[in-house]
Amino acid sequence: MDFASLVGIISGLILIISAILIGGNADIFINVPGMMIVVGGTMAATLLTVQFRDVMNAFKGAYIVFTQDKTNPSEMIDTMIKLSKISHRHGLLKLGEVKTDSAVLHRACMLLCEAASEQVIRNTLQNEIDSLMARHFSVQDVFRKMAAYAPAFGMLGTLIGLIQMLSELDNPESIGPAMAVALLTTFYGSLLATMVFLPIAGKLKARTLLEVTNLEIIREGSISILTNDHYAHVYEQLSSYLPERARKPILNKKPPVTQGVKK
């Protein structure tokens, strides 16, 4: 699991549970009707808005993002440099034998192996980037919709609880349970939106930006390999995707001349 996600989930749950326990009995925060209103209503509204397949893909995508390790741009740049060295030593045909888990990188290697034109490589890989962004946006949109629906159904539960309470004012024993539903549904809706759905959407967006950066590195690196650039030139072109502190010199350079110092 992604370390930041693990820390966020554990720390958030610990803080919320600790605040509940410090304030009193935790049993009063458990209300089955309130959970049914918020969780059931949120899922029903989401299924009415998007297709069932999209909802399943959203949860599957969230699971993948939170459990699989990410590929840093620096690692992808190193991969493109290795491919550049292979191309220089053995020719473009050798790239067709490269084994990789990335379907896009494999496709780029096959295009280079087939000596496709620069425009074909650029258009093909750009289409991959655009389609990835569209797929990921649909996944993020599911969780953004759920984050909007959950507080709304929390307010709906509050109204239901208030109506029940006002209709039974002559029965003091019913006021407590009705008020619990009224307040806890708002709590459940806010908790799901701020602790679950919005963080997942934000994590998915961050992973999308990272994957787009990696695909752009593959695209630009493939074009540089096609034009037979030296691997040092390939690195210089791709290093702009890295923060300045993460860039490293690819070639050994002469030491700078120090002025005014006698040996």
At residue 168, the 3 state secondary structure works out as: coil
Rounded mean pLDDT, 29-57 = 90
Dist. CA 31–CA 187, nearest whole Å: 11
Looking at residue 62, what is its pLDDT?
84
> What would the pLDDT profile of 142-181 be if each residue is shown by its tens digit?
999 999 999 999 999 888 888 878 877 777 777 777 777 7
| Candidate from 13-27, 48-62, 98-112, 131-145 with smallest mean pLDDT | 13-27
The 8-class DSSP code of residue 256 comes to P
- Mention every residue, 6+ apart, whose C-beta is less than 8 A from residue 33: 157, 181
Looking at residue 253, what is its pLDDT?
44
pTM of this prediction?
0.81
What mean pLDDT is reported for the chain? 84
Residue 149 is encoded by which pair of tokens?
Answer: 């629906």
- With 0-12 CB in 10 A as exposed, 13-18 as middle and 19+ as buried, what is 249? exposed
Looking at residue 255, what is its pLDDT?
40
Among 13-22, 26-35, 161-170, 181-190, name the most confident range: 181-190
% of the chain residues with pLDDT over 70: 92
Domain boundaries, the chain: 32-246
Between 139 and 164, the more confident residue is 139
Residue 214 is encoded by which pair of tokens?
Answer: 């990696």
Looking at residue 257, what is its pLDDT?
40
Q: Is the pLDDT of residue 66 over 70?
A: yes
- Tokens 């509050």 -> residue: 158
Contact call for residues 128 and 107 (beta carbons, < 8 A): yes
Q: Compute the residue count for the chain.
A: 263
Rounded mean pLDDT, 180-209 = 89
Q: Is the pLDDT of residue 259 over 70?
A: no
Q: Is the pLDDT of residue 38 over 90?
A: yes
Rounded mean pLDDT, 192-211 = 91
> What would the pLDDT profile of 92-138 be if each residue is shown by its tens digit?
888 888 888 889 999 999 999 888 889 999 999 999 999 999 999 99
Between 180 and 226, the more confident residue is 226
Give the model's confidence band at 250: pLDDT under 50 very low, under 70 low, under 90 confident, else very high: low
Q: Is the pLDDT of residue 1 over 70?
A: no
C-alpha angle 88-90-95 in degrees, rounded to nearest 5: 90
How far, rounded to the nearest angstrom, does the alpha carbon of residue 113 sit from its chain's CA centroid? 32
